Structure formats: structure tokens, C-alpha cells
A and B are shown apart, each in its own frame.
Chain A
Amino acid sequence: MDINTKKIKKNAYRVTKVRGKTALRIRVPGGHLDVKYFDIIKEVAEKYGDGSVHMTIRQGFELPGIDFDKIPEINRMIAPIIQGLELDYGVSIDDIEGGYPAAGTRNVSACIGNNVCPFANYNTTDLAIKIEKAIFPNDRHVKIACTGCPNDCIKAHMQDFGIIGQVEPIYEASRCVGCEACVKNCKKRVTGALRMENYKVKREEDRCLGCGECILKCPTGAWRRNPEKYYRVVIMGRTGKKNPRLAETFLEWVDEETIIKIITNTYTFIEEYIDKEAPLGKEHIGYIVDRAGYHVFKEYALKDVVLGPKAQVANHIDFGGYKYERNIYFTK
């Protein structure tokens, strides 16, 4: 059997532990899809795979047990999925019958967001799709997820870019009866950014996460939503065999346009700073930032970005996590 593994990997198939068998990953940008695509997934799994499908952590579908020589046929079969879940979203792919043209930049995942969840501060699927359009196809290894609020159900903190919805609560003092529901709740469940003063509520802006819980709790509508959408961007979270860590806040109170711009700018940064000797030409973005330094990354990421008046940029990031390698500072 003569297989160009580099080529099939780029095509979203992989080398599996079973000799001669591959598995296909279907992308579902924003984690939401019309059920009509299940029919195709089912057909491919039954006809070419082992009749099963694995739901990946990134909200894709992985179809195992496929023979390598069936790849071209399968790619033709999944064309409607690529049409509906990529081209229709504005992603450009030249050969729709040729399967996915890249797999490095992973599926942009999303929590269920404001289609369903009361906590959500925006439509996470829609934003994920916009990001997909801006960055796919791309071979660079980048992981992005959108989550509606700081509950972070999609685990944005485990991504290279985690987008967390923020809302600015607007207070109308004359509607406030002083019931303290918002104050008690913010203290118990969030940061304690609110306090009572003379029967009215004061919000400490610096401590406010923009989660929107106060708006949800207020029985009189004294807290209202600023319809403007804001986002916190956390960066360079990761798992892996060296230094797993949670992402840290890079930006807060920024808009959608800024997010798209900093992510696309990051690809330029990668091209410039990636380790040219890295095994298989692959280096994870977080390690590139570690090597080049946050300030260099920041300069690239913010190039030509016009930040809004509320936007905040981290001066410095002290990444945490831990290192598996114990002898990192001293060698015996």
C-alpha cells in the first residue's frame, strides 16, 4: 500500500492504529448543524466505515474504519456537507469534491450560546462561523472556541484563542427598589463588583466581568443590557506533554472586528516566528509565543487594530500551568 500520509492528513484523514484503515474528521463550525447532514454522515459510516461515529471534543465527527482507497469517493459524498458548513458560510474552497483542503487550524467550536442558553451574551455559533470564514483553510495548528459567558462551558480556557461574551450592564437608578438581589448574587457567584449605597447599587467597573448575571436577576429591569456586544479574549491555553495551562486574558471589552483581526494577524506572526526546524514543520502557537515573548506577539496581533474606548489590553501575562519535565532548571 502506497499512501502519502502528509497528503491525507491535510485532507482531514489520519493514520490510525489499524494498518490500512483511516478515519475522517468532519468539521462543524460553531458546533451546530442541520440534521439533514446526519444522513450523509450515517451513509458514509455505514458504507465505508465501521458503522460508528465518534463525537470529538472540538465538535466534529470522526468516522473510523475507512479504507484508504475509498478517500476520493467519500470526499465526493461529503461535498454537500462542505458546501453547507463551509462554502455557504463564506469559506473559499476550490475543489468542493476533493474533501477538506486543510486540517491544521481546527474546527472553531462554540457553546450552545444565545440560541438557547439564558446566560449567553451573544450568538456563539454565528461568531464561530465568522471566524471560520476568516481563517479556514489553513495548515497552522490553531485552536479557537467561542463561549457565551464566563461559565465557559466550551472550555475557551483550553484554547489558543478563547472568546468569552461580555455585556455592559446599564443601571437605571430610578427603577431600582433596592432588593439587593443583584448585589448578593454578584458577591456569591461572581466577583462582588456590586455594593449597596443609600439603597442604590454601585458597580465597580474594574471588578465587573461583564457576565450579565445582575441583569438576569433584577426583578424590575433596573439593570439593562447594552445591546453593543463585547468580548474577552483569553489566549494560549493548552494541554499536551510539556506545559498544560489555562489561557489568560489578553483583551477585554473588545468587539467582533477586533477578534477577527487579531486572529488573522496571528497567522502572520506564526509564519515569522515558527521554529523552522520543528518536527514535521509543526509547532503549537502557544510555544511560539513562549519563545518569541508576549510583547512581540502582542505587537503583531494588534497591528492595524483600532481598539474601542472600553477595550483593555493586558500589559503582561504571567502564564501558569505546570511543566511535566522536572529537571527543567537544573540538569543532573
Chain B
Amino acid sequence: MSLKLSREAFDDVLKDLGKEYKIYAPIRIKGEGRFSDTDVVRYGEVSGLDEIEIHEKAHFSPKEILFPITQTLFYFTEGEYQEPKYDEKKIIVFLRPCDINGVTRLDQVFLENGEDKDIYYERLREKVKFFMIECIEGFDNCFCVSMDANKTEKYAAAIRFGDDMLVEIKDEALINAFQEKGEFVNFEPTFIQENLVNVKLPDIEQITTETFEDDMWKEYAQRCIACGRCNFVCMTCSCWTMQDIAYDENNSSGERRRAWAGCHVDGFTDMAGGHGFRKNYGDRMRFKTMHKINDFKKRNGYHMCVGCGRCDDVCPEYISFSSCINKVTKLVGEERK
């Protein structure tokens, strides 16, 4: 079912849905960006249409809603433990097709990787409905089309923002909220067909240990500063580490948390005794690249990277991941379709 709504009507619907759902969308936080007099655009809870920022790509991905940056798994006191309070409220997330495809990757990692599901992820994931922001033009550094992540069917509703709002509703549970607020129209979202950046993917059959030892990684040893920004803005990076905290006042009580970890960051491969596998920053770049466009596909049949381009947007050293993929492809040859 598709509808046309005025912005006011859409706003009313959001307010209405807000009673039942927490609604997350990209928002612009004025003046709180990294540099002075700059804004940060990232995910936050919204209560109205005007709070949603659709003209700029969110600097951080929506993965933090499903996979929080830090998450308390349980609290403990001596022999007992307790899980944190579970918020029953359902969730709506406004996001673009690439990011919805990114969630597919997170699902793969957290729910379909081995026998046990990650219940912390699952519990959040079950509550989420996707409101897809139609994305026709994309932004600088996007290469979702090359990654085959420009299209998706997995949305509860798809929205074209404009002076009037066009909405396609797939999820029956939402129909009530929308139906009397607009007029029926024919609308299906359009998906971007061409990005400004194109990536040629490598033939992964040809990736060998020689590829790993190639000189191309040496350049990154010089250029990368191991800040980890590319990991943390990435829609599909899903590594985390455990943090056990014993409270100061009484160290037989405390909590266990998990926190995002990144393969570019110092300490990622550190073992007891101080040994680390990838001290060299070029090795870290190689590791990330191979995970995103080689290993993951070998395991799951499709690439991990969705081409959102956030890693390129954020790198302070202007290291472009899309260029890196192209370099690998130049080395081993193009993927055979």
C-alpha cells in the first residue's frame, strides 16, 4: 500500500508511532562536530519529521542501535548475577538501503554464525522495523552499487522525502497509523543505479598468501595512523571486546560489558604476555580488507562491505578503502560473474 501525505500529516504519524516505538533517525547536532563550528550527523531518537537529517550521510552508521557501542551484559555480586532491565518498547529506524543490507551482514555474524545466537543482539533486532529512506543520488564516496547493496526489499516502509511525503507500507502493523492520514497513490521506491565511485571486485579464488605479502600493503604501513575511525563508523564492522568492571567501593560486585573493538586499533590482537599479531599498520589494513572483501564471502557467499563509504569519509589520512579494493583487484584480476 502506498500513500501520499503532507509533511504535517507524516509528522502526526510519527508522533503517534512514538507512543509505541522509539524512533531513531540521522539527526544533526549543531556545533558539536569534531572541529569547531561544525555539526555532527549521527543517529538519535526523534519525535518529529523536521529533526531527521536527510541531506547528509550520517557520519556514524545505525549499527549502534542494534549493537550498542558499549552494552552491559550483566551485573554481578559475589556468586549472583543479574541482567540489565530490558526495555520493551519497539524500535523504528530510518536508514538507507546500504545500511539495511549492512544489517543483513550483522544478522549473519550475530545470529547465523555457529549454533548459538547472540541473544543481546537478537533481543534488539527483534524489536526493530526499518523505514527505508529512498536514496537515489547517494553521496561522495558511496559505492553500494558495486557491492550489490544498493537495493533491498527488507523494509517495513519506504519513504521518499519531499514537500509531500510518499510512503510505501509493507508491514501490516503500520497500516493503521498511516491509512487515514493520506491519499492512495502508486509509489515504489527507486534505488540508485550508479555511484560516483565504482569498485571492481577481485576474483577471490586468486587471492593467495602472495597477495597478503604483496608490496601494496607497505604503503598503508606508512600512511595509516591506526586511529580506528574507519572501523567505528563502518556499518558492518562487528568486533567487540569484553570489559569486566569491579566497582571501586566493593570489588566483589561489578558488571560485565562489551564494547566495540576495531582491527586497526592498538590492542586488538594483544594476547596475555604482550604478544600482538599485527603490530604493523599495513598488516591491519590488509586484515580489514581481506575480511571485508574476501574471507566473509568465502564463508557466506556475499561480501561483508556494503559500500556505504563512511570509512573513506572519515579517514584523517585520506586512505580510501574503495581504492584499496581496486588495488587488490588489479593485483589478482577481476571477479568472474
Which A residues are closer than 8 A to B by beta carbons? 114, 118, 120-123, 148, 165, 167, 170, 173-179, 181, 198-199, 212, 215-217, 219-222, 224-227, 229
Contact = CB atoms under 8 A, between A and B. Distances in A.
B36 A219 contact: no
A120 B132 CA distance: 38
Contacts of A174: 68-70
B34 A177 contact: no
A221 B42 contact: yes
B299 interface: no
A225 B30 CA distance: 10
A177 B259 contact: yes
21 contacts: A114-B36, A118-B34, A148-B36, A165-B36, A173-B70, A174-B70, A175-B70, A177-B232, A179-B265, A181-B228, A199-B243, A212-B36, A215-B34, A217-B227, A219-B227, A219-B262, A222-B69, A224-B29, A225-B32, A226-B32, A229-B36
A216 B68 CA distance: 22
B270 to A, nearest CB: 12
B123 to A, nearest CB: 18
A226 B37 CA distance: 10
A178 B32 contact: no
B37 A177 contact: no
Nearest to B71: A174
Contacts of B248: 198
B243 A219 contact: no
Contacts of B32: 170, 224-227
Interface in B291-329: none
A227 B31 contact: yes
B260 interface: yes
B40 interface: yes
A181 B316 CA distance: 14
A121 B246 CA distance: 37
Nearest to A121: B36
B245 A221 contact: no
Contact of A118 (B35, B261, B267): B35
Nearest to B40: A221
A114 B228 contact: no
A177 B261 contact: yes
Given A114-B37, A199-B243, A225 B259 contact: no
B243 A179 contact: no
B189 to A, nearest CB: 30
Nearest to B39: A227
A165 B68 CA distance: 34
A181 B227 contact: yes
Contacts of B69: 174-177, 220, 222
A220 to B, nearest CB: 5
B229 interface: yes
A199 B243 CA distance: 7
B94 interface: no
A181 B69 CA distance: 16
